[in-house]
Amino acid sequence: MIGVEYYVLLSMAVFCIGLVGVLTRRNALTFLMSVELMLNAANINLIAFAFYHGNLTGQVFALFTMALAAAEVAVGLGIILVLYRNFRDVDVTVPTTMRW
Amino acid sequence: MEGAFSYAPAIAAFPLVAFVVALVFGKWMPKKGAIAGIAATGASLVFSLWMLAAVASGETYHETLYEWTAGEAASEIGADTIGFSFGILIDPLAALMLVIVSLVAFLVHVFSLGYMNAEGETGLPRYYAGLGLFTFSMLSFVYADNLLMAFMFFELVGLCSFLLIGFWFRTRSAPSAAKKAFLVTRFGDYFFLLGVVAIAATFGTLQFAGDESFVAAAEAAIDDGGQLFGFDAETWVTITGLLVLGGVIGKSAQFPLHTWLPDAMEGPTTVSALIHAATMVAAGVYLVARMFGYYALSPTTLAIIAFIGGFTALFAATMGVVKDDVKQVLAYSTISQYGYMMLGLGVGGYVAGVFHLMNHAFFKALLFLGAGAVIVLMHHEQNMWKMGGLKDKAPVTYYTFLAGALALAGIIPFSGFWSKDEILYDALIVGLEEPLIMAAYAMGLLAVFFTGFYTFRMVFLTFHGEPRSEAAEDPHPVGWSIKLPLIVLGILAVVAGIANLAPVAKLANVDITFLEHWLDGEYGGIDEVTYSAYSELLAYETGVISSEQVTVLIAAGLSLLLAFSGAGLAWKLYSDPEPTAHKERLGSAGTVVEDNYYQDEYQVWLAEGVTLPLARVADRFDQTVIDGTVNGVSTASLFGSSWVKRIQTGIVTNYAALLIAGFIALLLGLGVYGGWF
């Protein structure tokens, strides 16, 4: 029986990897993958605590999160496609015109 | 008579229906809405007479019909609720006035058939709609049971006068006269509104009659001897009474707000008849009579009313002396006659004031309609110097006009004599004790001379002598619709005095003062709004010269003597076949009177020389200080935001970083204040 604190540590590690990816990478695809990592970190947390408490609510939420992540990826890929069509590049620092 | 009063709302509703019908369908109706108006005012007249009969049989009516809103309020005397409502109050005064208004309105409608329709006017549906709305407003005003409702219909009456005075809006002068009438009366109404608010805030009620009335509340407050808004109760009653009086002075064309009335002659003559005899101008004096109990509580207000009335009576009468336009003479006589009514009410002569209001309604409607007939006869010429010789060519017009003129001049035994004499008698007996009232009486008495003079100057110039223009030689014939109202009103002008032969009653000691008994509620009345109830409130001392009979004789003799000498002077000067103007004999005084004592000029100067610069200063303050502050605030925020917006780089990574930094800062903050560390 592995203690819940290890799951939390794993989840934290995965989340931080994702966070660093979001903050440092410029490629939009890497960006999207980093976001996926962060979402999965949250899933690990949910399932770990669901298991720890012995009810299924956390697992159900994890399922919802996956569905949401799938939708998010679909939309994100669409945006990336449009980004590429307009700028011939997938660097997120290039399109800065959508501000004031 | 059981149930008669449940039909009371119909009296006002008929003309309202006529207004809608004339406005919507008038264009396609055979007489352009006249039939609807005649039918409606005729029905109102019948119903009003029914109400009169019901009151005579000893019943009165006081009912709230519709309550706008009622709620809690903190009034000065401690009443904690207030309601704003529409209600009907039919007491002897209201019933009498309903009959007068509906009768005059009915006759004016009939007269209009000959005056407006026969002349091929355009816009007749608009004219009849205006008359209908005017009648509706006035009738509703007359039987309003509270001050707020009275105020609303008072305003509506003002609006209708605006619409009708400006009927010929394509001319230059009519719209300007209409605007002037509207603005000048509105100036007075502004004070009236303040008065309504003050009375509501003080007493928490606006009812005219009943236990809940503001009159009763004011009386109780004065008896308590307490303070209202930091004033003595009586002082406060005086202040609010004077505020309401502002509206009266505007509407009843008393000095100094009388200037709109002569200009209002720009409207059709029938409208002048309606305005002067029964509606607009009468509304002011009627309001004083309606809330006479309130004024009776304050001797100061009454004295002011009396003095304004006496002064206006003389002031306007002198201006009427030099006018050349027949309608202008009548306009100044109206101002003067309403001055008499104010004088009568101001000296506590409630019956005398109402009596003169009634008689004046008949003879002034008669004179205006007579003048309208003369204008038709003369092919729309109004200058009296171009008339003359109409006596034999239009006998019906002449004799009815003469009856009205004799009543106006106050020649015994025509109706005007009895009421004017009663006013002057009431003023005299009070004046013997109070010097100020004596001065008002003296002015009123002197005005009798001028009244006699200008009235007969008008009669002689219009009807006597030789024709002085082609139109006068060959007058346009007038039809039955013009003659019939003249005859009805002519008869009334002669006989209406019978209603209250007070001097005869005092001299011969017979009981023939019917109007006094009527207003005293002896046939039927509401206790607190009767003449005797008012008399108890009045603080005037009265005196007599040796005995009551002698005083009556002296008062009547003096006014008759002056009326005859005025008329005699007019006869001497103007009864030639070819009369000449005597204006230059007056010298510089004549010029001053001719220019209406420069009243218009000084009021224009007040507007242009005082109000306009003040408004400019206020405007500058508004433009610089107020707008400057607002603009300054917006400039500062614009400048600040131009710096803050740089935080938005457009690079999504930066936003994410900011988000995370914010989250961490929040966590740290929570940690520090939540005690994790």
Contact A22 B648 (CB under 8 A): no
Size of interface A-B (CB pairs under 8 A): 25
Domain A4-87 has CATH 1.10.287.3510: yes
Q: Is B648 on the interface with A (CB under 8 A)?
A: yes
Tally Cβ neighbours within 10 Å of residue A56: 11
| Of the candidates B162, B161, B194, the residue with the CA atom closest to the CA atom of residue B179 | B162
Predicted confidence (pLDDT) at residue B394 exceeds the cutoff of 90: no
On average, the pLDDT of chain B sits at: 86
DSSP state letters, B384-444: GGG---HHHH-HHHHHHHHHHHHHHHT-TTSHHHHHHHHHHHHHHHHHTT-HHHHHHHHHH
Let me know whether B374 and B449 are in one domain.
Answer: yes
Lowest mean pLDDT among B42-46, B509-513, B618-622: B509-513
Neighbours of A73 (CB within 10 A): 15
Using the Cβ of B664 and the Cβ atoms of chain A, whether some distance falls under 8 Å is answered with no
A4 touches chain B (CB under 8 A): no
The answer to whether residues B561 and B427 belong to one domain is: yes
What single-letter amino acid sits at B366? L
Q: Which domain holds residue B371?
A: 351-582
What is the pLDDT, as a whole number, of residue A11?
94
Q: Is the pLDDT at B118 greater than 70, yes or no?
A: no
For residue B164, pLDDT beyond 60 = yes
- Tell whether B328 is covered by a domain: no
For residues B503-527, give the mean pLDDT. 81
Whether B483 and B552 map to the same domain: the answer is yes
Chain B interface includes A90 (CB < 8 A): no
B574-583: long-range contacts, CB 8 A cutoff, minimum separation 24: B574/B456, B574/B457, B574/B460, B574/B461, B574/B464, B574/B465, B575/B460, B575/B464, B575/B465, B576/B465, B577/B465, B577/B466, B578/B465, B578/B466, B578/B468, B579/B388, B579/B460, B579/B461, B579/B465, B581/B385, B583/B322
The verdict on a CB contact (< 8 Å) between B653 and A26 is: yes
User: Is residue B359 a part of any domain in this protein?
Assistant: yes
Is residue B579 reached through a cis peptide bond, with omega within 30 degrees of 0 on the bond before it?
A: no
In this prediction the pTM is 0.80
Q: What is the pLDDT of residue A10?
A: 94
Q: Which two tokens stand for residue A78?
A: 């669409």
State how far residue B645 is from chain A, nearest Cα, in angstroms: 7
Chain A: give the shortest CA distance to residue B628, in Å. 28
Q: Partners of A95 in the beta sheet?
A: none
What percent of chain B lies above the pLDDT cut of 90?
26
- Alpha-carbon B438 to chain mean position: 26
DSSP helix/strand/coil, B228: strand
Last-in-domain residue among B582, B617, B645? B582
For residues B346 and B252, is the Cβ–Cβ distance under 8 A?
no
B663 touches chain A (CB under 8 A): no
Same domain, B491 and B636: no
Q: Judge whether A100 is closer than 8 Å to chain B, CB to CB.
A: yes
Domain for residue B340, yes or no?
A: no
pLDDT of the residue at B436: 86
Residue B472 predicted with pLDDT over 80 = no
Q: Is residue B391 part of a domain?
A: yes
Residue B120 has pLDDT above 90, yes or no: no
**Residue B491 shares a structural domain with residue B609:** no
Query: What pLDDT does B675 receive?
Result: 81
Domain identity same for B535 and B656:
no
Report chain A residues whose CB lies below 8 A from the CB of B651: 92-93, 96
Question: For B643, which DSSP code?
Answer: H
The conformational region for residue B209 under phi > 0 = left, psi -120 to 50 = alpha, else beta, is beta
Q: Which of A22, A83, A87, A97 best probes binding to B when mutated, by most B CB atoms within 10 angstroms?
A: A22
pLDDT at B193: 93
Any domain includes B438: yes
Under 8 Å between Cβ of B452 and B416: no
**Residue range A30-65, pLDDT digits in tens:** 989 999 999 999 999 999 999 889 889 999 999 999
Asked if B650 and A96 come within 8 Å (Cβ–Cβ), the reply is yes
Nearest-neighbour CA in chain B from A19: distance (Å): 9
Nearest to A22 among B645, B648, B656 (CB): B656
Q: Which residues of chain A are within 8 Å of residue B644 when distances are taken between CB atoms?
A: none
Residue B119 has pLDDT above 70, yes or no: no
Smallest CA–CA distance from A22 into chain B, residue = B653
**Angle CA B78–B82–B84, to nearest 5:** 155
- Asked if the interface predicted TM-score (ipTM) of this complex is over 0.95, the answer is no
Q: Measure CB to CB from residue A96 to each of B645, B651, B660 and give the nearest one.
A: B651
Residue B587 pLDDT greater than 60, yes or no = yes
Contact B174, B165 (CB under 8 A): yes
Look-up: residue for tokens 């009547």? Answer: B556
- Whether residue B110 is contained in a domain is answered as no
Domain contains B336: no
Q: Exposed, middle or buried by CB within 10 Å (0-12, 13-18, 19+), for B387?
A: buried
- Looking at residue B545, its pLDDT comes to 77
Residue B125 near residue B80, CB atoms below 8 Å = no
Cα–Cα distance between B339 and B249 in angstroms, integer? 10
CB nearest to B651's CB, from A22, A92, A100: A92
Q: What total of structural domains would you count in chain B?
A: 2
Among the candidates B582, B610, B630, a domain finishes at B582
Task: Tell me the C-alpha distance between A41 and A15, whole Å.
Answer: 5
Whether residue B648 and residue A99 make contact (CB cut-off 8 A), yes or no, is: yes
Judge if B613 and B540 occupy the same domain.
no
Q: What is the pLDDT of residues B14-70, one digit of tens each?
A: 999 999 988 888 778 777 778 888 999 999 999 999 988 888 888 888 888 888 887
Report d(CA B135, CA B13) in Å as an integer: 10
Distance (Å, whole) CA B458 – CA B652: 95
Instruction: Kindly state the greatest CA–CA separation across chain A.
Output: 55
- Name the pLDDT band for A100 (thresholds 50, 70, 90): low
Question: How do residues B572-585 score in pLDDT, each as one tens digit?
Answer: 888 777 777 777 77
B648 and B537 share a domain? no
Counting Cα atoms < 13 Å in the Cβ hemisphere of B660 gives 13
Judged against a pLDDT cut of 90, whether residue B205 lies above it is answered with no
Judged by CB atoms closer than 8 Å, whether chains meet at B653 and A22 is answered as: yes
B657 part of contact set with chain A, CB < 8 Å? yes
Is B292 a member of any domain? no
Contacts of A95 in chain B (CB under 8 A): 650
Cis peptide before B299 (omega within 30 of 0): no
Q: Tell me the C-alpha distance between B153 and B353, whole Å.
A: 22
CA-CA-CA-CA dihedral for B392, B397, B403, B409, to nearest 10: -90
Question: Does the beta-carbon distance from B660 to A19 stay under 8 Å?
Answer: yes
Q: How far apart are alpha carbons B95 and B61 in whole angstroms? A: 10
Nearest chain B Cα distance for residue A82, angstroms: 16
Confidence band for B153, pLDDT divided at 50, 70 and 90: very high
Degrees to nearest 5, angle at CA A80 with A77 and A84:
140
Chain A residues with beta carbon closer than 8 angstroms to that of B649:
96, 99
Q: Does residue B660 belong to the interface with chain A, where contact is any CB pair within 8 Å?
A: yes
User: Percent of chain B, pLDDT > 70?
Assistant: 99
Question: Percentage of chain A with pLDDT > 70?
Answer: 99
d(CA B38, CA B40): 5
Both structure tokens of B39: 């039918």
Does B607 contact chain A (CB < 8 Å)? no
* Residue of B73 and B7 predicted with greater confidence: B7
Residues of chain A neighbouring B660 (CB-CB closer than 8 A): 19, 23
Among A residues 18-57, those touching chain B with beta carbons less than 8 Å apart = 19, 22-23, 26, 31
Q: Is the pLDDT confidence value at B2 over 60?
A: no
Contact A98 B649 (CB under 8 A): no
Is the distance from CB of B286 to CB of B419 less than 8 angstroms? Answer: no
**Are residues B425 and B554 located together in one domain of the fold?**
yes
Both B487 and B613 in a single domain?
no
pLDDT at B243 over 70: yes
Residue at token pair 């007479």 = B49
